[in-house]
């Protein structure tokens, strides 16, 4: 039963010896083994210039190209005059009206009207709609001070007033007249739905008041 195993071992030894003899005795004149040479590849280096992926301009589809800028379109000039701003620091926008002369006409309290609403609150907004020259006001609601000193800028600012049942009197007292003219302001009042229900202006000398009444129904 051991003869097949012995014959297999003898066969493997003979095969190994033959390979070793071929490997050792098959060198050519250059000392190279022809059985170990690399198979020549067909991907030989070419001297041709690389292929460009860019499409020549004459062959491009004009529909796929960005349109050329129009020469007649004017460039944006940030320094150009726009009719509103003088571009001089410290000066008010020219689009705002010049303050009126502080005459005796404005030496009195001014009533700006009354309005009715069924809402629970109103938004009171005000600004200096003429020259922003440092006008200051004090705000009262039913005789109580709610804002002791407010600077009137060029943009609207203000507060939200929760209304009491019946009459709500809002007063604006001029604490000064700024650097020019009377104390000037534009007043907007909005209901709780955001709709404007009053738009007024006042011109006051120092110490006088403008008032409006909001009646909650």
Q: Which two tokens stand for residue 189?
A: 């009042």
In a domain, 41, yes or no: no
Domain presence at residue 7: no
**What is the domain count for the chain?**
1
Within a domain: residue 45? Answer: no
Does 130 reside within a domain? yes
67 inside domain:
no
pLDDT in tens, 115-129: 999 999 999 999 998
**Residue 91 pLDDT class (50, 70, 90 cuts):** very low
pLDDT in the model for residue 5: 56
Pair of tokens at residue 194: 């955001």
- pLDDT band with cut points at 50, 70 and 90 for residue 30: low
* Total residues found in the chain within this entry: 217
**Which region among 37-41, 134-138, 170-174, 200-204 has the lowest average model confidence (pLDDT)?**
37-41
Q: Is residue 95 part of a domain?
A: no
Statement: residue 95 has pLDDT above 60: no
Does residue 133 lie in a domain region? yes
pLDDT in tens, 165-216: 999 999 999 999 988 779 999 999 999 999 999 999 999 999 999 999 999 9
102-106 average pLDDT score: 74
User: Between the CA of residue 67 and those of 1, 72, 122, 150, 193, what are the distances in Å?
Assistant: 91, 14, 53, 54, 48
* Lookup result for tokens 């609403």: 117
CATH of the domain at 146: 2.60.60
Pairing assessment for the beta strands 144-151 and 209-216 based on DSSP bridges: unpaired
In a domain, 42, yes or no: no
- All residues at 6 or more sequence positions from 155 whose CB lies less than 8 Å from its CB, including other chains: 127
Cα–Cα distances in angstroms (integers) from residue 153 to residues 157, 158, 171, 207, 208, in the given order: 8, 11, 18, 20, 20
143-172 average pLDDT score: 95
Residue 58 has phi, psi (to 5 degrees) of -70, -20
Domain range for 162 is 104-216
- pLDDT for the residue numbered 10: 55
How sure is the predictor about 87, in pLDDT bands with cuts at 50, 70 and 90? very low
Residue 86 has pLDDT above 70, yes or no: no
């Amino acid at each position: 039963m051991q003869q097949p195993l012995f014959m297999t071992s003898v066969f493997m030894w003979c095969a190994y010896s033959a390979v070793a003899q071929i490997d050792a005795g098959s060198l050519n004149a250059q000392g190279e083994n022809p059985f170990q040479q690399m198979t020549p590849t067909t991907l030989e280096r070419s001297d041709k210039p690389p292929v460009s992926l860019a499409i020549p301009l004459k062959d491009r589809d004009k529909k796929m190209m960005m349109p050329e800028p129009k020469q007649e379109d004017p460039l944006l000039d940030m320094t150009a005059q726009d009719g509103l701003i003088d571009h001089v620091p410290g000066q008010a926008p020219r689009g705002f009206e010049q303050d009126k002369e502080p005459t005796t006409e404005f030496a009195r309290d001014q009533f700006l009207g009354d309005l009715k609403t069924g809402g629970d609150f109103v938004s009171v907004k005000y600004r200096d709609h003429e020259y922003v020259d440092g006008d200051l006001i004090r705000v009262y609601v039913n005789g109580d001070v709610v804002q002791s000193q407010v600077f009137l800028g060029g943009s609207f600012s203000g507060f939200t007033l929760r209304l009491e049942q019946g009459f709500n009197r809002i007063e604006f007292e001029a604490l000064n007249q700024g650097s020019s003219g009377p104390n000037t302001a534009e007043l907007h009042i909005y209901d709780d739905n955001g709709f404007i229900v009053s738009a007024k202006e006042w011109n006051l000398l120092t110490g006088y008041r403008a008032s409006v009444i909001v009646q909650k129904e």
